[in-house]
Chains A and B, each alone.
Chain A
């Protein structure tokens, strides 16, 4: 077993060796510019790009012509939201999104608010799902876009995307979904799910960093976006810039592998996730899974160990790469806004760990991590005045804490 153990697959994934192999010729002999129409180098590069477009489209039930290449999910989210806002400004100025979205969506919306757009941030229920009735009530005749993520990057909760899409379709509102955590992990179908625009990134599905895509529906309805970058008019005029051919080939190959192996991979991740959860819950009291277990990515476990602080937990498992919702591990010193949106207290947010289990994890790794974590939690609870008070039967919510 190799150390350190990587269990942070929501942050990024290791590039699959098969993906790397597919990319390599496009750094060397096939180095051409896909926009060069008058020689062999250009044609070969273009072929690589068009093949990748088909592979990506196939994974999500789209047409190859509906795939626009970008530098990654942040650019895709920006292009989708700002592109719709600008293109449909005459129709309306209202956008609906959710409190648990990625910052690439939330901060884009905040920017638009400064420019006169109105944004509704839907709250989520305790399980992390949005309330569909609240969505319906929030749509007005000024609403031009609903942007709701497919699966959350912290808690792995999968939104009722097909139903959200159906509501949007019925009301004539475009529907964008940041699908970076879902695509390649669970079946996504843009037609079944009524998706108009979807953000994709390669490095979350065992592809390279720095390349992504945007699915943009071409008919029923035909979606138009105002380009956010001016230049040579690449990608149907929606995204200028010389294509990152090796990266695009890698994204395509990653999608092809994901499509072939999705069923067994889902089974693999879910088995390991459930094993980890069962071990932790079997050995420790006061352990809470954050967000819905039913509507969840197979490889996600976001779990809080009450009365123990997250950063000190990570210190005790320093040969395991995971993330914590604790303030101490973030630059802002604020605990996770996603966990707070579930209605969890700051104390539970401070006690959380996010596991992202993926393709390359093994049962041996999971067993090692579970045993080590159980030891560390027990040790830190010995140290915890809060656990001592809990054991004495003191209700911590009634305690008057001495604040500075």
Chain B
């Protein structure tokens, strides 16, 4: 399979790899996918208490190159956005930016799910009713 240059770039130079302190009140963690499906994404955001802006985002992904690129791109887009703006990131934006072929669309869906899961976790910690769909949850032990 041929990969787009952008996928290759994110694979070779993934942005924002790492982990944030998941116990911190202003860090939201989303973990989606499952090992037996061949994809697991962990995406974390750190929100500034006063401005409400996402000032840092980190990811770790087990998955194919397109899954790595989708989550790497998501962290780039998250930084500098408010939490509400972040909820507007759609999987189709990721598909277009990375020129993902149809068989890899599920990678972009997973990235969108990871963003929503991270925001839901952040809002739960803040005691705010989550506006995000509660389709995903953080695995036990994370």
State the majority secondary structure of interface residues on A.
helix
**Docked complex Cα distance between A398 and B42 (Å):** 17
A94 lies within 8 A of chain B by Cβ: no
Bound state CA distance, A402 and B135, in angstroms? 8
Any A CB within 8 A of the CB of B136: yes
Contact A384 B136, beta carbon cutoff 8 Å: no
Number of A-B contacts (CB under 8 A): 98
Is B139 a contact of A399 with CB atoms below 8 Å? yes
A373: shortest Cβ distance to chain B, in Å? 16
**In the complex, which residues 34-60 of chain B have their Cβ closer than 8 Å to any Cβ of chain A?**
34-42, 60
Chain A residues lying within 8 Å of B103, measured Cβ to Cβ, are 333
With a CB–CB cut-off of 8 A, which chain A residues contact B19? 388
**Chain A residues whose C-beta falls within 8 Å of the C-beta of B34 in the assembled complex:** 401-403
Do A401 and B35 contact each other (CB < 8 Å), given the known contacts A315-B3, A389-B141?
Answer: yes
When distances are taken between beta carbons in the complex, the residues of chain A under 8 Å from B136 are 402
Interface-located stretch among A6-14, A123-131, A199-207, A344-352: A344-352
The distance from the CB of B6 to the nearest CB of chain A, in whole angstroms, is 14
**Chain A residues positioned under 8 Å from B109 (CB to CB):** 404
Whether A396 pairs with B35 at a CB distance below 8 angstroms is yes
Which residues A369-404 have CB closer than 8 A to chain B?
A: 382-389, 394, 396, 398-404
Chain B residues, CB < 8 A from A403? 34, 37
Tell me which residues across on chain B come within 8 A of A308, comparing CB atoms.
62
Tell me the bound Cα distance from A265 to B92 in angstroms: 52
Q: Does A97 contact B (CB under 8 A)?
A: no
Q: Does A162 contact B (CB under 8 A)?
A: no
Whether the Cβ atoms of A384 and B61 lie closer than 8 Å is yes
Q: Is A328 an interface residue (CB 8 A)?
A: yes
Q: Does B63 contact A (CB under 8 A)?
A: yes
Which residues of chain A have C-beta atoms less than 8 A from B141's C-beta?
389, 394, 398-399
- Are A309 and B38 in contact, with the CB atoms below 8 A? yes
Interface residues of B in 112-142 (CB under 8 A from A): 113, 117, 135-142
Chain B residues in 8 Å Cβ range of A347: 35-36, 38
Q: Which residues of A contact B14 (CB under 8 A)?
A: 383
Give the complex CA separation of A254 and B140 in angstroms: 57
B60, B63, B113, B139: the one contacting A388 at CB < 8 Å is B60
B31: interface (CB < 8 Å): yes
Cβ of B33 under 8 Å from chain A: yes
Pick the contact of A402: B62, B64, B137 (CB < 8 A): B137
With CB as the reference atom, state the residue of chain A lying closest to B65: A315
Interface size, A (range): 20 to 34
Shortest distance between the CB of A402 and any CB in chain B (Å): 5
Other-chain residue from A312, A346, A385, A389 in contact with B36 (beta carbon distance below 8 A): A346
Shortest distance between the CB of B139 and any CB in chain A (Å)? 5
Contact call A386/B64, Cβ cutoff below 8 A: no
Contact mask for chain A residues 305-327; partner B; CB cutoff 8 A; 1 contact, 0 none: 00111011001100000000011
- CB pair A402–B139 under 8 Å, yes or no, is yes
Q: Given A315-B65, A326-B38, A385-B42 in contact, is the A401-B139 Cβ separation under 8 Å?
A: yes
CB closest residue in chain B, given A394? B141
Q: Is the Cβ of A385 less than 8 Å from the Cβ of B38?
A: no
Quick one: given A309-B64, A385-B61, are A402 and B31 in contact (CB under 8 Å)? yes
Tell me if B140 and A312 are in contact (CB < 8 A): no
Nearest-Cβ distance from residue B106 to partner chain A, whole angstroms: 8
Q: In the docked arrangement, what's the CA distance between A351 and B140, Å?
A: 23
Within 8 A of B (CB), among A88-144: none
Q: Is the CB of A346 within 8 A of B35?
A: yes
| Pick from A307, A311, A401: contact of B64, CB under 8 Å | A311
* Given A327-B38, A383-B17: A307 touches B62 (CB 8 Å cut-off): yes
Known A-B contacts A382-B17, A388-B19; A402 and B61 likewise in contact (beta carbons under 8 Å): no
Known: A311-B65, A388-B19, A404-B113. 7 other contacts (CB 8 A): A309-B64, A312-B64, A315-B3, A328-B38, A345-B36, A346-B35, A396-B35
The 16 listed contacts between A and B (C-beta, < 8 Å) are A311-B65, A312-B64, A315-B64, A328-B38, A328-B64, A346-B37, A383-B17, A385-B31, A385-B42, A385-B60, A385-B61, A394-B141, A399-B140, A401-B35, A402-B32, A404-B135
- Chain A: residues with CB nearer than 8 A to chain B? 307-309, 311-312, 315-316, 326-329, 333, 335, 345-347, 350, 382-389, 394, 396, 398-404
Closest 9 CB pairs of A and B: A346-B36, A401-B34, A347-B35, A385-B42, A311-B64, A385-B60, A350-B38, A328-B64, A315-B65
Hey, which bits of chain B sit against chain A, CB under 8 A?
A: 1, 3, 11, 14, 17, 19, 31-42, 60-65, 67-68, 103, 109, 113, 117, 135-142
